[in-house]
Chain A
Amino acid sequence: MAERGKSTGRPEEGLERAPSRIGEDPEERVIRALLDGFPNTVTDFKKLRKGVLRAKIERRELYKACKLLKDSLGFEHLSMISAVEYDSRFELVYHIVSYQERLLLELVTTTPKDDPSVDSISSIWGGANWQERESYDLMGIKFNNHPKLERILLPKDYVYHPLRKDFKG
């Protein structure tokens, strides 16, 4: 029979974690670690509800911040990479999950309209690989250092990026 254990136990032990202060809850720890590591580039923290945090980051620090999140803060799972197009910018929303602390961090970066490119984090989380290809395919955002940035959902020789607001189908 499969184990039917109590799920209040921690799913994963033994990662190197940044030191925590006594009595600090996990969200505070994450905010503090990010503010320490990236003093001016991570801004606008918001606690959306229990266990869900939101932060903004500049796109040149994205790779380093993600590395910090994975290696020392214990965020093992990259859930979703969304690309949203506004009038003057593109926004990339990264939802990163920590299994241990039961936290979800919504990390938002913006890129200018004429240069929608950002560093790829598929070397940190393998699950980002196809999600970045999908954002490239449908929205046209380029990811630097991606192992294989090709179209995935649309035919390989398609020219347009359909999710953009100027594509009227």
Chain B
Amino acid sequence: MAEMWINMGPQHPMTHGLWNLRIKVDGETIIDAEPEVGYLHRGIEKLCEGKTYTQIIPIADRLCYGASLSWSHLYCVAVEDLLGLEVLPRAEYIRVAALEMQRIASHLMWLAAYAADLGAMIGFIYSMRDREVFIDLLQALSGSRITYNFPRFGGVAHDIPPNFERDSLRACDYMEKRLKEYEDLYEGSKVFMLRNEGVGLLKKEDAMNLGVTGPSLRASGVRYDLRKDMPYSVYQELDFEPATHKDGDCYARFKVRMDEMYESCKIIRQAVTKMPKGKWRTLAPRNAPEGTGLGRVEDPRGEGVMYVVGDGTDRPYRLKIRSPIFVTVSAAPKMLIGYKIADVVAIMGGLDMCIGESDR
């Protein structure tokens, strides 16, 4: 059969989010690929130049609606760097606990979509049901289920509700049991291993060169996790290990994310039990000094960076956002060429794409 260009998207049941993947196929094999993003561009960077610093916190939530707490936290870290503000210790621990819950919820949503695409509708239902446990906890903490508007400069918006510690520990116990079940369910399925092993190989050098970060990088063998290697917040005092895998295929990315959920449970336990007493909210100056601020966090999807330029007023002069998915998607052709059309689902699903942050 002749070679032809196929458009997967922008209207397609599989592609999570609104983007287009043009692949050139020869029969069933992919020989070239070209992702096209930009269908969801909302002009957030320009929008932020007209709003005050506090007004941008909910907007930062909506950058990636799958892991929104980590984006508003990233924004607060960047602005605190600009202002030179110290964060209150109790607030740091609350932030860490909430962030790790958000990480588990985000990974569960990834797992749900991934399993559903591969054909196991059961995976979708189980993962979404377990995600509810953590979304409920975050709702008790902040009042919303998906976009929280929770961190503030120098602290957090509210204190933890009563029984939060007991409920979080119960949730972690429940999650670890369920993770064992998931391992049995997925790794015991020969079909799942057939679809994932050896598919979408990304070598170490390519991963580092192309700017891939986060679980996809760790799945290719590079043991770099921002929470451990350039720590922010109170991650230095917490005891956990970043998960890596040396293969670099889809199964490795799956495994890294599952292991990350284990580690997040450990972190939540420590954060919730070690929380110091004290204030959780403070006043921040209204006008930012002239200068720049840099925030860099480990988003569930990779390395998120924000660069804020202040000019002495109460609105930022420039806010630049680095989205991990934007760069990882540009590395997608490397992972796609040479595989079959049916592998597109496994490979692109394994990258955990959230187009909201990619297009901003």
List the interface of chain A (C-beta within 8 A of B). Answer: 1-7, 9, 11-12, 48, 51-52, 76-80, 82-85, 93, 95, 99, 102, 104, 106, 125-131, 134, 138, 151-155, 162-163, 167, 169
How distant is the Cα of A134 from the Cα of B242 in the complex, in angstroms?
Answer: 31
| The one of B222, B255, B309 that contacts A84, using a Cβ cutoff of 8 Å | B309
* A5 and B222 contacting across the interface, CB-CB below 8 Å: no
Chain B residues whose CB sits within 8 angstroms of the CB of A106 once the complex forms = 294
Which residues on the A side are within 8 Å of B294 (C-beta)?
A: 48, 52, 95, 104, 106
Q: Which of A11, A79, A153, A155 contacts B359 (CB 8 A)?
A: A153
Question: How far, in angstroms, from A93 to B206 measured CA to CA in the complex?
Answer: 24
Chain A residues contacting B212 (CB-CB under 8 Å) are 127
Residue of A nearest to B245 (CB): A2
Interface Cβ pair total, 8 Å cutoff? 121
Q: Considering the complex, which residues of chain B in the window 238-270 have a beta carbon less than 8 Å from any beta carbon of chain A?
A: 241-246, 252, 255-256, 259
Q: Which residues B34-54 have CB closer than 8 A to chain A? A: 37-38, 41, 43, 45-46
A95 to chain B, nearest CB (A): 6
11 additional A-B residue pairs with CB within 8 Å, beyond A79-B211, A131-B211, A154-B41: A4-B259, A5-B223, A7-B223, A84-B317, A84-B318, A95-B322, A126-B330, A130-B327, A134-B326, A138-B45, A152-B37
A138: chain B residues within 8 A (beta carbon): 45
Of B211, B241, B245, B317, which is within 8 A of A77 by CB? B211
> Which chain B residues numbered 14 to 40 have a C-beta less than 8 Å away from chain A?
37-38
Which residues of chain B have C-beta atoms less than 8 A from A162's C-beta?
Answer: 43, 46
**Partner-binding segment picked from B168-176, B225-233, B273-281:** B225-233
CA distance A134 to B246 in the complex (A): 32
Main secondary structure of the interface of B (DSSP, over half): mixed
Contact with A along B158-178 (1 / 0, CB 8 A): 000000000000000000000
Q: What residue of chain B has the Cβ atom nearest to residue A49's Cβ?
A: B81
Q: Which of B209, B229, B296, B326 contacts A130 (CB 8 A)?
A: B326
Taking the nearest CB of chain B, how far is it from the CB of A89, in angstroms? 13
Given contacts A93-B307, A162-B43, contact A2 B259 (CB under 8 A): yes
Closest 5 CB pairs of A and B: A127-B211, A82-B320, A80-B322, A153-B38, A130-B330
Contact of A126 with B322 in the complex, beta carbons under 8 Å: no
For the complex, what is the distance from the CA of A58 to the CA of B60, rounded to whole Å?
33
Per the bound structure, the CA–CA distance linking A169 and B42 in Å amounts to 12
| Residue numbers in A under 8 Å from B228 (CB-CB) | 7
Task: Give B327 Cβ to nearest chain A Cβ, in Å.
Answer: 5
Query: A52 contacts which chain B residues (CB < 8 A)?
Result: 294
Known A79-B322, A127-B330, A153-B359; judge A7-B208 contact (CB<8 A).
no
